[in-house]
Structure 1
Amino acid sequence: MTAPPPRPQRTPLTDGPFLVGDRVRGVAYVPPALRKREAPEPFEGVVVQVGSGYPKGDDEGDFLWVRLADCTERQSLVADTEPNP
């Protein structure tokens, strides 16, 4: 007899609206210092990290890291992101 596969964790670790594994779409965040060279771009993907991962890194807003279909990642603000059913 084999054990059933583990269930994905759906317990929020924060009070934010997104959890790791959620499918989302939104607009990528570009830090102010890079805005002369880069432009925000729309994306669709899966949340892989909630929060910036740096101490005081979320002072500008709540961040998400999202993995795209091409295996690259984008950072976005929660306010610029919505669920993608």
Structure 2
Amino acid sequence: MATPRFRVGDRVRGTTYVPPDLRRQERPEPFEGVVVQIGSGYDKVDAGRAYLWTRLADHTERQSLVEETELVVREGQS
């Protein structure tokens, strides 16, 4: 079994995901934070794309695509 690219608690950075229907109101933005959820949590929703939820320092959360996110620090490492 392959090791997952990210784990809850990892520090990551990337660009927020904005769904196509919201791109007139929102723009993708860079972020850095801690992974709080991997995947949507709903069966088959992530079939086409893998999502990641990250909590920022201001305690808000951002959604990103796994492929557009990079690991900064693995949980438990400094």
State the structure with bigger RCO (CA 8 A, min sep 6), 1 or 2.
Answer: 2
Correspondence for 2:40: 52
Q: Under a length normalisation based on structure 2, what TM-score does the superposition of the two structures give?
A: 0.84
Runs of 4+ in 1 over 6 A off after TM superposition: none
Gaps of 5+ in 1: 1-13
Q: Under a length normalisation based on structure 1, what TM-score does the superposition of the two structures give?
A: 0.78
Percentage of matched positions with identical amino acids: 64
Larger Rg computed on CA atoms: 1
Matches of 1:15 and 1:61, distance apart in 2? 18
Matches of 2:48 and 2:58, distance apart in 1? 28
RMSD: 1.4
3-state secondary structure, aligned to 2:67:
helix
Correspondence for 1:72: 60
User: Aligned pair count?
Assistant: 72
